[in-house]
Chain A
Amino acid sequence: MKICVLIKQVPDTDSVIKISNDQKSIEMEGITLATNESDSYALEEALLLKEDQGGEVTVLSLGGESCQQVLKDALAKGADKAIHLDDDDYKDLDILSAAKVMVNVLKDKEFDIIFSGLQSDDIGNAQLGLIMAELLDTSHASLVMGTEILDEKTIKVKQELEGGWFQWSELDLPASITIQSGLNKPRYASLRGIMMMKRKPLESIKVSELNLENTSSKSFVHKLYIPQKTKETVFIQGSADQVVDGLIEKLTNEIKVL
C-alpha cells in the first residue's frame, strides 16, 4: 500500500492571533506552530494501515521552511519519506492553486491512498482532499471516522454525517480520503523514532522551480479583522475572589440555579 498524507502547519489553536499591519495576513511573530489537528489523525490512520497491510507512508507539506518541522515529527512517528514544497516565492496560493502545485509532484507517484485532514484549523477551506481527488481522477470520501481495506482495489470507510448519523461507503482505489478527528489515538514519537528520523529522506522542492501552468489564484484576501461583537457580554472582573463572588451573585440572583 502506497500512502501519502498531506500535512499542514498551522498556528496552535491556543495562539493569540494578531493581524499584520497590511490587514491581509496574520502576525507570525510569537505564534507557536503545530500540525493541523485532523492531519495528526490522518497520519495515525496511515501508519496503522501500513502496519496492517505493509507498504510505505510519504508525508507532504506545502509552506515556508518552518513546515519542515511537522514533516520531521511525522517521520519520527513512523512515516518513511517527506516532501517539502517550499512556497517562499509563491505565498498566498488559494486552495485550488495549492492543490495544483501538489498534484504536480504527486501525479506520477501512484499512491493508493491520499489522506488529508477534513479542514485546516487556520483557513478552513474544507476542500483540499476533494480537489486532489478530482485533479488526480480518484474516488474520494470526506469526514472519515474509520477505514477497512477490503481487497487490493477497495477500501471501506465510515463517514460522519450530521446529527449523529454515519454511513459506510466503498471506494475503489486509488482514493483521496479526508479524516475527521477522533477516529484513532495519534501516537507520540519514540526516542528511537526520533533517532531514525534523521536518516529518513526529506526532499525540499521550491514551488518556483516546478513547471507550473494555470496556477494563479482566483480568490484573494481583501481584508482581515477581528469580528465585531454583537452581543453585550457582561464581564465579571477583578481578583479571583471578586470574580468568584460575582459569579455566585449571578448564579443566585439572575440565573437562579443556586
Chain B
Amino acid sequence: MKIYTFLQQNDGKPNRNSLEALAAAQQLAEQTGGSVSAIVFGSNIETITDYDLAEIIQLQNVELENFNPLAYVSAFENLINAENPDMVVFGHTYETRDWVPRLSARLDIPFLTDCIGFKNEDEFVFTRQINQGKINSDVKTTGLTIISIQSGAFRLDSLKSGSASTREFTVDLSGISQSIRKGEKFQEAKGSVDLSRAEVIIAVGRGIGKEENMDVIKELAKALNAEIGSSRPVVDYGWLPHEHQVGSSGQTVSPKLYFAIGISGAIQHQVGMKSSDNIIALNKDENAPIFEIADFGVVADLFEIIPKLTEKINSLS
C-alpha cells in the first residue's frame, strides 16, 4: 500500500498532530506491507529528514507559502492524480478541517475524519468516535481513501527514525481562484483568570442545566478554595466568561485536582485537562467518556451530591 502523509508546517516546524499522523502512517505501512511518503509544502524540510520514510515529496510554490485552502486543494489534486497513492493521511488539525473535505469532494473519494486507530480483523477498518465519544464506529471504505488522525491518538515516541531522500514535485497554481483571502491572525485580550496556575479546579459542564444552578458549583469552589473551569457550552451560553473554558479552544490545565461535574468528556475538552494529577468525574451517565480518563468516578445526579459535599467540607473547617 502506497501511503502519503501531509506534514503541516507551523512557524517552520512540523505540526505535532501531523507528526502523530506520520506515526499512524508508519504503523499502517507496517501492517499492510506498504511505504510512507511525506508531503511538505515549502522549502523547510530539515526537521523531517530523520524519519523512516520512502521519500519526502516537496512542493514549492508561492501560493503554498501561507495557508490557502484553494491552492492546497489544487496542489494535492495534482499530486494525487499524477501518483495514485492508495491512502492519504492527515492530522485532524484546524487547517485540515478548512481544506481537506474540499479535496475529498474534488477527487470524489471518501474522507474519514478524526480516526483513532485501525485494525485488520475480519476486514480492514478505521475506528472513529461518534456521538461525542460515546460510541466507537469501525468504518470500511473502497478505493483511495483520505483519513485524518485525532490529536493524541498516536504517540510521537512511536515514530520510527531513519533517512529519506527528497524529490520535488512541481505544480502550476497560477490560475488559482483568489475568492478566499486569509487575513492577519490575532489573539483576543487575555482575561483575568489564569487556570494554568490553579491547584484545584472545579469544572462545570452543561449538566448544570441552567445559569441559576451555577451557585452549586461556586459554593463548592469556595469551600475548596478552587478556581472554576468549564466546558465550552457553559461559556457559549454566557454562564461564565470565556477565560474559564478548558479545552482545545480554551485553556490547557494540569492542576493537582480537576473535578469535572456534569461534563461528558468530549475529546476537545479532554485535550485541555487530561494531564491533571488527579481527575474526579461526576456524571449521571456511567458511559460518559470522561470516565475513560478519570481516576475517581461518581455516577450520580450532581444536585444530590455536590450541595451535601460542600456542606460537609465547610463543616470540617
Contact = CB atoms under 8 A, between A and B. Distances in A.
Interface in A209-247: 214, 218-227, 229-231, 233-237, 240-241, 243-245, 247
B131 interface: yes
Given A13-B132, A130-B98, A169-B180, A231 B294 contact: yes
B249 A164 contact: yes
B1 interface: no
Interface string B218-257: 0000001000000011011010000000001110000011
A255 B278 contact: yes
A143 B289 contact: no
A133 B129 contact: no
Contacts of A135: 105
A167 B298 CA distance: 40
B287 A182 contact: no
B224 to A, nearest CB: 7
B29 interface: no
Interface in B174-193: 177, 179-188
Contacts of B138: 221-225
Contacts, number: 241
A244 B179 contact: no
A64 interface: no
Interface stretch (A47-55, A68-76, A120-128, A196-204): A120-128
B90 interface: no
B130 A127 contact: no
B140 A222 contact: yes
A106 interface: no
A229 B132 contact: no
Nearest to B69: A140
Contacts of B295: 231, 233-234
A220 B140 contact: yes
A170 interface: yes
Given A139-B180, A164-B188, A258-B313, A17 B110 contact: no
A160 B235 CA distance: 15
Contact of B135 (A26, A96, A220, A248): A26
B160 interface: no
B185 A166 contact: yes
B2 interface: no
Interface of A: prevailing SS: mixed
Given A131-B104, A233-B295, A257-B257, A161 B133 contact: no
B155 interface: no
Interface stretch (B36-44, B55-63, B303-311): B303-311
Given A130-B98, A166-B188, A223-B138, A122 B130 contact: yes
Interface in B99-140: 99, 101-102, 104-106, 108-114, 123, 125, 128-140
B81 interface: no
B102 A218 contact: no
A133 B132 contact: no
A159 to B, nearest CB: 8
Contacts of A139: 177, 179-180
Interface in B26-75: 69, 73
A126 B114 contact: yes
**Most chain-A CB neighbours within 10 Å: which of B184, B292, B296?**
B296
B280 interface: yes
Contact of B139 (A221, A240, A247): A221
Contact of B309 (A17, A170, A244, A254): A244
Among B93, B111, B285, B308, residue most surrounded by chain A Cβ atoms (within 10 Å): B111
A168 B256 contact: no
B224 A250 contact: no
A172 interface: yes
A233 B294 contact: yes
B291 interface: yes
A133 B102 contact: yes
Contacts of B141: 218-220
Contact of A121 (B125, B131, B186, B278): B131
A148 to B, nearest CB: 12
Contact of A222 (B125, B132, B248, B305): B125
B180 A219 contact: no
Given A140-B69, A165-B187, A227 B131 contact: no
A245 B313 CA distance: 10
Contacts of B101: 125-131, 134
B110 A243 contact: no
B105 A131 contact: yes
B165 interface: no
A126 B129 CA distance: 12
Contact of B297 (A41, A169, A224, A234): A234
A218 B313 contact: no
16 contacts: A17-B134, A17-B287, A99-B105, A127-B104, A134-B105, A142-B94, A161-B94, A168-B184, A169-B183, A182-B236, A218-B142, A227-B133, A235-B297, A244-B312, A248-B309, A251-B257
Nearest first, the 5 A-B pairs at minimum CB distance are A182-B236, A130-B101, A134-B105, A127-B101, A172-B179
Given A165-B185, A219-B141, 11 more contacts: A124-B128, A142-B94, A164-B188, A167-B184, A221-B138, A222-B125, A222-B138, A227-B136, A230-B292, A233-B295, A248-B313
